[in-house]
Structure formats: structure tokens, C-alpha cells
């Protein structure tokens, strides 16, 4: 029985990070970097797809980062996909194997995969949204028999901004996964679809009543993707998304991530559309 | 009813006794206003103060609080120093009510050791308010003009004496061994009742409706034009949340010494009224306008906190109104929302 990082969230402080080691690092795009993190011996992250960790660098600060690896492939390590966007993430980009970071978590409510079993899965990540969704996609693929069809619609702004391209190719090569890619703007080598992610939806047919759709992307994307998903007849409760907010403390205290009365870091960041459609501040 | 009597002339001796093993803080005068600070001399203590600039919340949640210290190479992380046991004198009942909410916030779900350790080391000595402290307070309307059950000792000014209600073991302990208190008599009991019956009429009801209707009023007011009107006046300075006894939102920052070898992480009070409060890395601000931020503040006070913690987020102390440079006040805001509220006759029982 391995110990869980959650057990460290007791004494002496919920804000004290556990030190963990970067064991692998490589750039995915100009802006995004892949990091594989190893917790101290015997400790497992014990997370669910859709949860996040607070990553901290002593002397720099702390920020919430979604967990990109699936629990099924954890092996005492977990993976992050970090976009360079601020002080902490810029510092993370300058780090490599052997360097030490602080970790707290896992936090938040992940996707309720137990409720997805038996359903067809439609994944619609946009841009960096693939980072958290990769965790769920790989979990689904590692227990493939529990699910019906698996369809992935992935959009990025430009071919050079597509994340995890090796994995995308491996998923596309499987005969039990359907992958459609699109980019807002193509380049010379791009032979695929050009257009925003919503242009992919007419290409697929689904059995709406038995489909769970999971979409993660920038705030501006949700409204349009939701219109497509609702238009296909997927029930509100079967549409899941992950909302980005400033989850500074991760433990429901600091107040920054509030959506109306909900703390995103506690009630979310994963929500069904049914849960948030009446909240004025959600979308 | 059992209570104690402390003669005002014995207070200096009592403070000396308390100071032997406690830090003693209470209201004192500073530049014509009143602040909570360390009491060195009995003459500094102003138990009949009107209101304090900042609430005593700062003893559980300091404006700047060290969470832990570290070596930047990760070789050492130490929790912050323990704080001394502290007797807080002169807490008003509105602030007691506020502490009840804060206690729930920091104990519910994840346990916040920093707050709760400080809280456990506090002995709260509250005082009954006998006259309104200022024109902005509306404690009577909010139901906070009477003490909840979280005080350790509660004092009522009887003129030459204080009546002391003992609320906890901790409270009893700080009276133990002090010879300046005596048990209350039937006559003292009559004195208390006289003081109390004179007190209530002095306080006005300032909300135009019963406070239990506040969440309903807000629930039909999200789209009110009033928020836009407040947003146009609001300077987004954050003073309202700074002085609020129930506001607890915080930011976390690192500070590193010049050698870059050692540093500390601390939390500091933050404000939902500030521009960057809900802004994420990458620049998206989820509450861009001052109107949306003021609305968020009042919804937290009158609705969200009740839903999350079972207690209203406003205790009617009036500090935010006093601090606001453009005269945005909770009383005017709530009354105006009530006046403009959209009636939903189908859901209301008619006589």
C-alpha cells in the first residue's frame, strides 16, 4: 500500500508543498512543455482525471496546473503540460530533469468516469484543453471495454500548436478510436481540416442519448461548442466541461475562483452543463 | 442566571494578572479613531469605544501572515512561528458574529491550521453595545446586536461595574485566582435588566425589510441596473473589503532575501474589488467590471455565504460604509434592491 500525497495535507499546514523531482522534460510546442514528476519514494498522487495540483517553486510562487496523465499510467509519477504564461510557468520552462518543484494536491472534483462507463465518448478539447483531457482519454482507452465509441475532435490555432502529436497519431491509428483534427490557420504541410473546432461537428454522427461529451478549452470556445453539442441532442447532464479560474489556494479558502456561490476548486473544475447552466458567471 | 461582577476600579489589576501569561490586546485611541492594539497600560484600554477601524479579525487572519519559511534550494521548509496566547478585550457583538462565520470558513472542508491555531489561542472578551457606535451601523437590523455563544467572557457596562457573563472554560480560567471579581446578586441582576431595557430603543432599524428576506431580494436582483450604477461610482480601491470583519479572501506571495538563499511564503489580504482578483494567467478576467465586482461582494454578503456556511456574510458593522469614499453603503444598496425588486406574485402567499 503506497501512501498518498493527500495524507500530507494534514499537519502542519495545508499550504506546505511536498517536494517532488522532475524526471523528464521536453518541449511540446513553442509555448508548452511536458514535465514528468516523481513524488518522494512511496508516495502516489492518487488522482482522478480532471483534477489539478498546485505547483510551486520556492521563491517564485504557486499556480494550479491540471494533471495530464491518467491514473491508469501513474507508476509513482504524474505528468503536466505547462504553458508559459506567467512568472511561475516561465520558471518551470527553464527547468529540467533532476530539478525539484513543490506539489500540493490533487485538488478539485475530477470527471465522474464511473458515470461515463457504458456510454459513447465524444472528446472535444481546444488548444491547451487537451492537457487535462488527455488524462481522461488515456484512462478511457486503458479500460476500453467499458466504453462504446470513442471520438476525439481536437482543434488548435495552428499546426505548430497541436499538443501530444505522437499520441494523437497513435490514437488515430487505432481502429477503435476516431480522431478529427482542425486548425484555425493551416501551413504548407497541413493537409487536414482548416477552421475552428465547431467545423468538425458536422463530420460526425452520434447516438446522442447514449453519448457523453467532454470539452475543455478556453472560455470563448465553450459557448460555440455547447451549441453544437446541444444541437446534436446530447442531454445537458451528459455534457461535461472544465472551467478555468484563478484557483490560488486549491482548498476553498482564498476566494479567487468563485463562480457565483461555488468555489471552482472544490465544486469543480469539472462540471456538467446541467450543473452550471443556471449560473450567470459560469460561461 | 449566574454571572460575576467586576468593579471598573479593579480593571488595572485584572490586566496585570492577564499579562503574566498572555498578550493582551484591546481597543485604544489612535489619531482620534480607535484601533485594536496591545494594551500596556490600563489607561490605554477604551472599552466604551464606538467602533474600530479594523475589526479584531486581524488576530486570526493577519493582513500579512507568514505560512512557512524555506531555503530556496528546497533543503528546508519550516512552518511559521507559533503565536502567543492572546486575550482580546472589547470585541463588539457584530464582530463576534463575524468570527462565527470565519470559524466555519476555515474549519469546513480543508482544515486551515494557520487560522485555527491562532483562533485556538484567542480568549475573546466581548462587550455589550449600549449606544449606536455610528450612523452607518445597522446591527439591530442584521440581528447582531446581541452576543452569539462564541465569547469566552462577555461584559455589560453597569456604570461603576461590569457584569461578566462567563461563556467558556477559557473565560472562567482568566478569572480564576483574581480576587477583584465577585458573584452577581439579585440587585445586580436588576441593574443588568435596567441597562438592557434602556439599550434597545436607542438603536434604529435601518433595513426597510426583515433581513431574512435578503437572500430572496438578491435572488431576483442579479440583473438589476443598480449594479451598473454602483460600478460607475466605485473606485475599486478595496477599502470596503479591507475593513470588513467577514472578508477573508487572500493572496499568497513569496518573498526572497537578497542572497536568494532563503525566503518565505505568506498570505496577504486580497480584495474581490481589485481589478486583477479574478484574472487568470493569460489575461482573462472573469469579473472585468466594477459593477460585476460590487455585485459579487453584495451577493457574498447577503446570499452566497448563507448558502455555503449557514450564516449571512454581513453583520451590519457599517465599517465598509464608513470607509467608502463614494458613499456606497450596504443599507442603501439593500434597501434600494428591495424597493426595485421584481415581485413574483405566483410564489408569494397572499392574505
SS (H, E, C) B274-297: CCCCCECCCCCECCCCHHHHHHHH
Which cell is B88 given?
482580546
Class of the CATH domain delimited by A3-107: mainly beta
Give residue B192's pLDDT.
Answer: 96
The domain spans of chain A are 3-107, 113-242
Q: B174 and B216, same structural domain?
A: no
Same domain, B88 and B126: yes
Nearest residue to A98 (alpha-carbon basis) of A24, A185, A169: A24
> What whole-number distance in Å separates Cα of residue B128 and Cα of residue B196?
9
The predicted model scores a pTM of 0.93
- pLDDT beyond 50 at B229: yes
How far CA A45 is from CA of A5, A8, B26, B62, B260, in Å, comes to: 5, 11, 46, 32, 30
Q: Which long-range contacts (CB under 8 A, 24 or more apart) does B41-48 make?
A: B42/B11, B42/B12, B42/B15, B45/B11, B45/B15, B45/B89, B45/B90, B46/B90, B47/B89, B47/B90, B47/B127, B47/B155, B47/B157, B48/B157
Rounded-to-integer distance, Cα A267 and Cα A110, Å: 10
**B12 & B131 share domain:** yes
Closest by CA to A111, choosing from A145, A140, A83, is: A140
Under a CB-based contact definition with an 8 Å cutoff, are residues B107 and B57 in contact?
A: no
Q: What is the pLDDT of residue B177?
A: 86
Which percentage of chain B shows pLDDT scores above 70? 97
pLDDT of B153 above 70 = yes
CA angle B124, B125, B130 (to 5 degrees): 130
Same domain, B192 and B218: no
Among partner residues B222, B260, B282, which is closest to A59 by beta-carbon distance? B260
Q: Give percent of chain B with pLDDT exceeding 90.
A: 90
Residue B32 grid coordinates: 482620534
**Three-state secondary structure readout of B212-239:** HHHHHHHHCCCCCCHHHHHHHHCCCCCH
Nearest-by-Cβ selection for A252 from B110, B256, B270: B110
CA dist., res. A130 & res. A170, Å (int): 15
CA distance B280 to chain A (A): 5
Q: Is A27 on the interface with B (CB under 8 A)?
A: no
pLDDT at B2: 82
- B90: nearest Cα among B138, B35, B20: B35
A101, A57 contact by CB (below 8 A):
yes
Do residue B136 and residue B190 come from a single domain?
A: yes
B258 touches chain A (CB under 8 A): no
B287-316: average pLDDT: 97
C-alpha distances in Å from residue A166, one per residue of A12, A173, A186, B129 = 42, 11, 19, 70
**B127: part of which helix (H) or strand (E)?**
strand B122-127
Say yes or no: B243 and B278 in one domain.
yes
Mean pLDDT, chain B, as a whole number?
94
Q: How far apart are CA A54 and CA A61, in angstroms?
A: 10
B130 within some domain? yes
Is the bond preceding residue B70 a cis peptide, omega within 30 degrees? no
The residue-averaged pLDDT of B101-116 equals 95
- pLDDT of residue B309 exceeding 50, the answer is yes
Q: How far is A19 from chain B (nearest CA, A)?
A: 7
- Of A181, A250, A241, A224, whose CA–CA distance to A5 is shortest? A250
Min Cα–Cα distance to chain A from B245, Å = 15
CA A188-A190-A192 angle, 5° bins: 150
Q: Block means of pLDDT (10 residues each) for chain A, length 283 residues? A: 54 87 97 96 90 96 97 92 95 96 96 98 97 98 98 97 97 97 96 96 95 96 96 97 96 96 96 96 91
Q: Is residue B19 part of a domain?
A: yes
Per the listing, cell 499579562 goes with B19
CA distance B226 to B230: 6
Q: Do the domains A3-107 and A113-242 sit in the same CATH topology, yes or no?
A: no
Residues B277, B164 within the same domain: no
Which of B67, B300, B304 lies at the smallest CB-CB distance from A15? Answer: B67
Q: Is the predicted pLDDT of residue B48 greater than 50, yes or no?
A: yes
Residues of A whose CB is below 8 A from B280: 244-246
Q: Is B144 found in the same domain as B59?
A: yes
Tell me which H or E stretch contains A225: helix A219-231
B85 domain residue, yes or no: yes
d(CA B151, CA B40): 23
Domain match, B220 and B147 both: no
| Other CB atoms within 10 Å distance of the CB of residue B181 | 18
| pLDDT at position B350 | 61
Out of A63, A218, A253, the one facing B106 most closely (by C-beta) is A253
- Domain contains B266: no
Q: What is the mean pLDDT of residues B227-247?
A: 97
Do B26 and B62 reside in the same domain of the chain?
Answer: yes
DSSP A51-112: -EEEEEETTTEEEEEEB-S-GGG-TTEEEEEEE--SHHHHHHHT--TT-EEEEEEEESB---
What class has domain A113-242?
alpha beta
**pLDDT 10s digits, B27-36:** 999 999 999 9
Distance, in Å, from the CA atom of A21 to the CA atom of A36, rounded to the nearest integer, reads 8
pLDDT for the residue numbered A232 = 96
**Does residue B253 belong to any structural domain of this protein?**
no
pLDDT of residue A1: 42
Under 8 Å CB-to-CB from A189, ≥6 apart: which residues? A159
Q: Per-residue pLDDT averaged across B52-57, rounded?
A: 98
Give the containing element (helix H, strand E) for B164: strand B161-166
Are B280 and A260 in contact (CB < 8 Å)?
no
B303, A60: Cβ pair inside 8 Å? no
**B112: nearest CA partner in chain A:** A14
* CB A151, CB A121: distance < 8 Å: yes
Alpha carbon distance B66, A248 (integer Å):
16
Angle, alpha carbons B116-B119-B122 (nearest 5°): 155
B74 lies in some domain: no
Q: B183, B80, B98: which is closest to B147 by C-alpha?
A: B98
C-alpha of B199 from chain center: 22
Q: Does A254 touch chain B (CB under 8 A)?
A: yes
In the predicted structure, residue B138 carries a pLDDT above the cut 90: yes
Mean pLDDT of B335-350: 77
The structural domain count of chain B equals 2
Domain membership of residue B152 as a residue range: 4-66+79-202
Verify that B59 and B179 share a domain, yes or no: yes
- Do residue B85 and residue B183 come from a single domain? yes
Contact A86 B281 (CB under 8 A): yes
The residue of chain A with its CA nearest to that of B257 is: A59
List of chain A residues whose C-beta atoms are within 8 Å of the C-beta of residue B67: 13, 15-16
Q: Which residues of A246-256 are buried (b: 16+ CB within 10 A; e: fewer)?
A: bbbbbbbbbbb
pLDDT value at B323 more than 50: yes
Amino acid at each position: 500500500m503506497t501512501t498518498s500525497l493527500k495524507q500530507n495535507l494534514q499537519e502542519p499546514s495545508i499550504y506546505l508543498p511536498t517536494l517532488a523531482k522532475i524526471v523528464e522534460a521536453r518541449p511540446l510546442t513553442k509555448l508548452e512543455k511536458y514535465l514528468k514528476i516523481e513524488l518522494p519514494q512511496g508516495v502516489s498522487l492518487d488522482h482522478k482525471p480532471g483534477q489539478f495540483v498546485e505547483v510551486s517553486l520556492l521563491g517564485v510562487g504557486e499556480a494550479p496546473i491540471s494533471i495530464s496523465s491518467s491514473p491508469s499510467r501513474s507508476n509513482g509519477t504524474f505528468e503536466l503540460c505547462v504553458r508559459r504564461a506567467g512568472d511561475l510557468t516561465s520558471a518551470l520552462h527553464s527547468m529540467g530533469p533532476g530539478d525539484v518543484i513543490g506539489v500540493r494536491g490533487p485538488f478539485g472534483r475530477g470527471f465522474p468516469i464511473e458515470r461515463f462507463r457504458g456510454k459513447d465518448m465524444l472528446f472535444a478539447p481546444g488548444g491547451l484543453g487537451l492537457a487535462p483531457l488527455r488524462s481522461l482519454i488515456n484512462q478511457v482507452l486503458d479500460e476500453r471495454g467499458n466504453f462504446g465509441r470513442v471520438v476525439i475532435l481536437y482543434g488548435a490555432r495552428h499546426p505548430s500548436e497541436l499538443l501530444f502529436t505522437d499520441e494523437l497519431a497513435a490514437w488515430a491509428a487505432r481502429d477503435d478510436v476516431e480522431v478529427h483534427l482542425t486548425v484555425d490557420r493551416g501551413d504548407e504541410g497541413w493537409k487536414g481540416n482548416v477552421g475552428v473546432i465547431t467545423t468538425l461537428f458536422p463530420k460526425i454522427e452520434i447516438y446522442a442519448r447514449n453519448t457523453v461529451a467532454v470539452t475543455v478549452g478556453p472560455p470563448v470556445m465553450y459557448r460555440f461548442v455547447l451549441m453544437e453539442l446541444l444541437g446534436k441532442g446530447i442531454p445537458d447532464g451528459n455534457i461535461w466541461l472544465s472551467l478555468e479560474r484563478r484557483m490560488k489556494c486549491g482548498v476553498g479558502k482564498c476566494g479567487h475562483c468563485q463562480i457565483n456561490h461555488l468555489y471552482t476548486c472544490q465544486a469543480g473544475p469539472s462540471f456538467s452543463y446541467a450543473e452550471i447552466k443556471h449560473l450567470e458567471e459560469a460561461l | 442566571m449566574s454571572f460575576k461582577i467586576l468593579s471598573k476600579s479593579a480593571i488595572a489589576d485584572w490586566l496585570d494578572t492577564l499579562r503574566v501569561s498572555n498578550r493582551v490586546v484591546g481597543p485604544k485611541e489612535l489619531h482620534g479613531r480607535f484601533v485594536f492594539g496591545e494594551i500596556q497600560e490600563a489607561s490605554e484600554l477604551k472599552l466604551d469605544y464606538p467602533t474600530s477601524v479594523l475589526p479584531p479579525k486581524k488576530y486570526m487572519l493577519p493582513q500579512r501572515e507568514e505560512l512557512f519559511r524555506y531555503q530556496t534550494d528546497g533543503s528546508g521548509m519550516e512552518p511559521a512561528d507559533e503565536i502567543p496566547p492572546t486575550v482580546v478585550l472589547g470585541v463588539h457583538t457584530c464582530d463576534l458574529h463575524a468570527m462565527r462565520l470565519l470559524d466555519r470558513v476555515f474549519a469546513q472542508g480543508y482544515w486551515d491550521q494557520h487560522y485555527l491555531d491562532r483562533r485556538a489561542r484567542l480568549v475573546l472578551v466581548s462587550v455589550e453595545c449600549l449606544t449606536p457606535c455610528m450612523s452607518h451601523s445597522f446591527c439591530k437590523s442584521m440581528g447582531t446586536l446581541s452576543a452569539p455563544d462564541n465569547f469566552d467572557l462577555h461584559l455589560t457596562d453597569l456604570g461603576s461595574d461590569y457584569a461578566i457573563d462567563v461563556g467558556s472554560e477559557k473565560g472562567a480560567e482568566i478569572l480564576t485566582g483574581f480576587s477583584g471579581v465577585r458573584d452577581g446578586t439579585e440587585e445586580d441582576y436588576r441593574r443588568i435588566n435596567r441597562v438592557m431595557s434602556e439599550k434597545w430603543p436607542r438603536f434604529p432599524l435601518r433595513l426597510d425589510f426583515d433581513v431574512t428576506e435578503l437572500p430572496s431580494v438578491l435572488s431576483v436582483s442579479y440583473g438589476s441596473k443598480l449594479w451598473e450604477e454602483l460600478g460607475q461610482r466605485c473606485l475599486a480601491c478595496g477599502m470596503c473589503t479591507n475593513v470588513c470583519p467577514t472578508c477573508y479572501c487572500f493572496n499568497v506571495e513569496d518573498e526572497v532575501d537578497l542572497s536568494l538563499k532563503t525566503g518565505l511564503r505568506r498570505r496577504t489580504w486580497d480584495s474581490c474589488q481589485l481589478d486583477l482578483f479574478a484574472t487568470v494567467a493569460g489575461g482573462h478576467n472573469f469579473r472585468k467590471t466594477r459593477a460585476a465586482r460590487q455585485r459579487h461582494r453584495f451577493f457574498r454578503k447577503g446570499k452566497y455565504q448563507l448558502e455555503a456556511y449557514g450564516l449571512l456574510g454581513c453583520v451590519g458593522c457599517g465599517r465598509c460604509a464608513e470607509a467608502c469614499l463614494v458613499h456606497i453603503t450596504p443599507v442603501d444598496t439593500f434597501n434600494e434592491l428591495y424597493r426595485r425588486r421584481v415581485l413574483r406574485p405566483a410564489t408569494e402567499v397572499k392574505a
